[in-house]
Amino acid sequence: MTSSAGRTSRGLRRVPKYEPPADERPQPKRPKESPGEQRKGRRQTKYKLFSLGAGIDVPLFVFILVLLAIGLVMLFSASYAYCYYYYDSSYYFIMRQAGFAVAGVVLMLIVSTFDYHHFHKLAWPICGLAILMLLIVIVFRGSAIAPTKNEVNRWINLGVEFQPTEVAKFAVVVVFAHMISQRVEQMKSFRSGFVPFMAVLGLFAVLIMPEPHVSATIIVCMIGVILMFVGGSSPKWFFIFGGIAVVGVAAVVMFSGKFDYAMDRIYGWLDPFNPPGDVDTWQTKQSLYAIGSGGLLGVGLGQSRQKYLYLPEPQNDFIFAIVCEELGLVGALIIIILFSLLIWRGVYVSIHAKDKFGMMLGLGITFQVGIQAVLNICVVTNTIPNTGISLPFFSYGGTALVMLLAEMGVLLNVSRSSNVEKT
């Protein structure tokens, strides 16, 4: 037996008991919160009204500004002959669009600091405002408040004309993002994950179709359906009710007599150079002439021939045809790539959002721009029937541009709190 310090009676050294650090010790399990308690906790979370977060996503911001700058240049090139003939000033459209663009960029930067979580409270008020505007168009059609243009009623005139459908698109995005974030565990259910959403879409479709505005109805429905699918709704309901809806809409368009113009556009789409009867395909033909004239490298910026009153209103829905004529296939592909990069970055930022609401809100705004750009290019190239769809950042429309840039501000705010490395 030894008496040395630190040794036992058998001559072995005593090893002190290992104690793990406090942060590595197992923590007692907390009782699982019910969905109601989780929602209560979320409601108790307070967010600042304005927050800079970790900074906006620079690549996304750059893509927005580049598309806006190119859009302004092409708008001026496409519109100056039309403006000089009808308004005695080649700068009539570009001066107004540039002013709205500056105001839109300022608004975008301001909105990018507005914490998007507050749209939880604003979702239904925004939806109600959009519905009210659409009702005003129907009730006051043909009056000074809701003027008729080319036999359609799509505008409200309050000193400045704008289309309520632009507000309706954003309203669907906000409301669906709000509803999905509250029903994450119930989205597979028919009662909770399908019926309420289709009721909202059905209401907007019923209000937009009579304007008539088939293209806006299609865009709104596509945005809603995509958000539902991403949000977790069961695909089987889309196949069942989607088929019923397609058959119903086709029957209304073909046999009601109220949408004869839609059937004429389908006939014109099938053979634009030899349309049946008195179907007018002048715009489509001039668009295809412009695209064909552009070739690989184009005729040069500002050198388009079709914009000299051959292509009707080249500054609006068919501005991409002028882009193809002046910049050629190469220029058109560059612009398509820029749109693709914007959509990619918007999706990337959205899926890295810190909550479900931010993810769905960002995806909805990104999908809106992507759907509209794809459908516009398809119309211009006669891939789908001719319908009135503007090209984001390019087509003339001051209030629509401001609304678009404000939505980009919301997307940039989502990027401020996303788990994305800031550059």
Domain assignment present for 188: yes
Q: How many helices (H) and strands (E) does the chain have?
A: 14, 2
Domain assignment present for 41: no
Domain assignment present for 8: no
Residue 287's nearest CA partner among 381, 412, 178, 177 is 381
Q: How far apart are CA 20 and CA 25, in angstroms?
A: 6
Name the helix (H) or strand (E) containing 113: none
Residue that has been written with the tokens 């999706």 in this structure: 347
Q: How many CB atoms lie within 10 A of CB 222?
A: 16
Domain assignment present for 13: no
The predicted structure's pLDDT at residue 410: 96
The predicted structure's pLDDT at residue 233: 87
Q: Model confidence over 306-363: pLDDT tens digits?
A: 999 999 989 999 999 999 999 999 999 999 999 999 999 999 999 999 899 999 999 9
Residue 370's nearest CA partner among 67, 122, 70 is 67
Q: How far apart are CA 220 and CA 204, in angstroms?
A: 8
Q: Which residue range is the domain that position 246 belongs to? A: 53-416
Domain assignment present for 15: no
In this prediction, residue 244 has a pLDDT band, given cuts at 50, 70 and 90, of confident
Q: How many domains does the chain have?
A: 1
Q: At what angle do helices 58-87 and 398-416 cross, to 10 degrees?
A: 180
Q: Model confidence over 365-408: pLDDT tens digits?
A: 999 999 999 999 999 999 988 888 899 999 999 889 999 999 99
Q: Using a pLDDT cut of 70, give the percent of the chain over it.
A: 83
The predicted structure's pLDDT at residue 208: 93
Across the range 205-209, mean pLDDT stands at 91
Pairwise pLDDT comparison (236 vs 103), residue with the higher score: 103
Q: How far apart are CA 420 and CA 415, in angstroms?
A: 8
pLDDT at 46 over 70: no
Q: How far apart are CA 214 and CA 95, in angstroms?
A: 31
The predicted structure's pLDDT at residue 146: 87
Across the range 93-119, mean pLDDT stands at 95
Mean pLDDT of all residues belonging to the chain: 85
Domain assignment present for 2: no
Q: How far is CA 276 from the centre of its chain?
A: 36
Domain assignment present for 423: no
DSSP-derived secondary structure for 267-287: HHHH-TTS-STT---HHHHHH
**3-state DSSP of 187-211:** CCCHHHHCHHHHHHHHHHHHHHCCC
Domain assignment present for 42: no
Q: How far apart are CA 38 and CA 182, in angstroms?
A: 10
Q: Model confidence over 247-278: pLDDT tens digits?
A: 776 666 666 656 666 677 787 888 888 888 77
Give the phi and the psi of residue 152 in degrees, each rounded to 5: -130, 155
First-to-final CA distance of the chain = 69
